[in-house]
Amino acid sequence: MADITGTAGDDTLAGTPLDDVIRPGGGFDTVDGGAGNDRLLVDFSAGNLVRARFPSHVTLDAEGWSGTIQSRVSDDVVSFSRVERIEARLGARDDWFYATITGPVAGRSLAIDAGGGSYDRLSLLATALSNVTFKVGASGGVTNSFGSTFNGFESYEVRVDGGTNAIATAGGADVIEVGAGTSNIASGAGDDTIVTRGGRDRIDGGAGRDIWVIDYAATTEGVSVVQNGLYDTPFIQDRSYAAGIETIDARLGSGNDFVRLIDSAGSSVASGSGADSFTLLRPNGITIDGGAGYDYARIDLSGTNRFWETELHSDGTGGFAGTISRYNGVDLAGIEKLSVTLADGVDLVTIDGAAFVAGAQVQMDGGLGADHLTLSLAAFPGARATVRADGTMLVGKNLFSGFESFRFEGSAGNDELGGGFSNYIDAGAGNDILRAGAGADLLFGGDGYDQFYGLGSGDEATGGTGPDVYYVEDVSAGLPMIHEDVDGGFDMIVSSVGFALPQNVERLRLTGSADVYGYGSIGADQIFGNAGNNLLIGDAGNDTIEGGDGIDYLSGGTGSDSLRGGAGTDVFVFDTLETAAERDTVLDFTLGEDRVQLDRSIFSAFADEPLGAALGAENFRLGTRALDADDHVIYNAGVGGLFYDPDGNGIVAALLIARFIGNPLLSAGDFTLA
């Protein structure tokens, strides 16, 4: 046996074949214990310097301990190998001491005193050891099953294999990891991390905010993981149970797993392959990943104020990925079927319908508050997304309810979209159906033959190219705005209320039986009355006007117009004077029932006549020309031509103002003045 002592300088110390005691001094020393059962005594307790060094690190293998111990209060360092026992005293600074055990512990030991630091940490990396006991006592000493002693450490990292382990730490921020087996773990106060890899364990996180990392990735059987954040007692059904655990981070295996998180905050679960099921009630900052297999998640945020942006898209494998209530809700991936009730507040939801095409399904309730849904259906050709009378909407197999406003983005196919309280709809190309809701809607039909339903107060619709049809229903607070480009196709408005055609919309059809008006624009318009009494005015252009049933007033305005009164007593109004080429055509004048009305401000020969007066017999001439100065209205029954002559048989020529199909035999009694 030899007692070998170093100097204050840099020494190289070599042991003998016997059992040596080696005492390095100051400086940077190198020690090789050699053969025998050697004991290394290191005293770095003296000194008051501050040295920023790497942690001390020792490793036990088949040849003994090797590694480096560094002082943080002096310039002293010892590097060593082939030593069986180490006794070390560290200084008054905060030390971090790593001990890795990969070889047999029989006859090998550590005795480490951390010294007087305020936060000394021991990392024991002994995954080759099983059936380990490691308990920190009230005085700071450690009782263990592998023959070593540790004192003065405030924080621990202990990683061991499975078996029957008993590990208890104290008040630091500790890390404890065990393999499969039946371990009892108590991490004491502090924010601790506990890792279990299978097995049937009992865990007590103690005070502080602790996390339980559950590694069941290699498990082939399904497990049930339950956490209630109000009680901090998560468990794996019939396997492991914990207390004092605020957060879990679980990695599950290939079985069909069940996960239930209630009032949980900050937890994360990846369920692996298999058909897994998640139930999340009032989650806060949760992450779930269904992995492979057909997975279901029910997420309920009702009763909370965790409302924010929600976004879902395809994960590329047939499921959803995205976020339910960003920042304080749920991040998810690999979920094929999803049921969501959102929080009590204003939720903003965006969903990419490509996930629907891939087979994912969602049922979502907006919950309380003014919630908005944006639904992109660009990858869902021929989508049908219309809000029903009860406020629900079915899109394929996907059901939505509790939303107050919508934005729909259609596909290149023939879509049917809308119907909610307040919508933004961009239907895209294709022959689409767009439905306005009860609120103010903004609708874009895009290319194709588009149909707009339910237009009313506050709505704005743009048809795009292709023939479009607009259905106007509710104008209690104002008319909708309709836009068409000059090359937007032949478009029509169908309205149950009075309406004036905007530019580039060519046809207006009134429906129902209300007494309403219909006005044209500057183009060649088609205007059709309803069963009520209508005022129909063509404005400029060569218009076609049909009155339908009821007492209708028809005025073509400027241009060569075609007028048909239809059933009932109709009034054909002439309030412009143009050229003979721009004369109007009356298609169905009924004698004794219909009337011709002349505007006195235009037909100035009658300017002094009272409003509503009948045309005097002396002012009407049946024939081809005026015979005296009072003959201002001349009707040629042979051709059905109606002329106006401002000076009778004077020098000013008569002007053809209308032609009556069927050549009815008009008389002065068929005319009134307005």
379 pLDDT exceeds 90?
no
450 pLDDT exceeds 70?
yes
474 pLDDT exceeds 80?
no
Domain ranges of the chain: 370-478, 580-673
DSSP code for 610: P
- The residue assigned the tokens 């795009």 is 464
Per-residue confidence (pLDDT) for residue 266, from 0 to 100:
97
Distance from C-alpha of 628 to C-alpha of 619, rounded to nearest angstrom: 9
Q: How far is CA 356 from CA 103, 313, 339, 397, in A?
A: 55, 9, 14, 8
pLDDT, tens digit, for every residue of 229-268? Answer: 999 999 999 999 999 999 999 999 999 999 999 999 999 9
**Averaged pLDDT for residues 102-122:** 94
**Averaged pLDDT for residues 652-671:** 97
438 pLDDT exceeds 80?
no
- CA 493, 499, 505, 509 torsion-angle sign: positive
Distance from C-alpha of 528 to C-alpha of 449, rounded to nearest angstrom: 21
pLDDT, tens digit, for every residue of 510-560? Answer: 999 999 999 999 989 999 999 999 999 999 999 999 999 999 999 999 999
50 pLDDT exceeds 80?
no
420 — pLDDT class (breaks 50, 70, 90):
low
Distance from C-alpha of 130 to C-alpha of 471, rounded to nearest angstrom: 78
Output 625-630 pairs: Cβ under 8 A, ≥24 positions apart: 625/649, 625/654, 626/654
Per-residue confidence (pLDDT) for residue 562, from 0 to 100:
98
Residue of 180 and 380 predicted with greater confidence: 180
Could you give the maximum distance between any two Cα atoms of the chain, in Å? 156
477 — pLDDT class (breaks 50, 70, 90):
low
Of the chain, the percentage scoring pLDDT greater than 70 comes to: 99
Distance from C-alpha of 602 to C-alpha of 607, rounded to nearest angstrom: 8
51 pLDDT exceeds 80?
no
**Averaged pLDDT for residues 614-637:** 96
Residue of 185 and 456 predicted with greater confidence: 185
Phi/psi of residue 328, nearest 5 degrees: -140, 25
325 pLDDT exceeds 80?
yes
Angle at 230 between CA 225 and CA 235, to 5 degrees: 20
Do residues 51 and 30 touch, judged by C-beta distance below 8 A? no
Helix (H/G/I), strand (E/B), else coil: 559: coil
**Averaged pLDDT for residues 54-60:** 95
Residue of 378 and 48 predicted with greater confidence: 378
**Averaged pLDDT for residues 283-297:** 97
Token readout for 455 is: 């237009």
Phi/psi of residue 365, nearest 5 degrees: -115, 125
- CA 464, 467, 469, 475 torsion-angle sign: positive
Mean pLDDT of the chain: 94
Per-residue confidence (pLDDT) for residue 102, from 0 to 100:
95
**Averaged pLDDT for residues 571-593:** 94
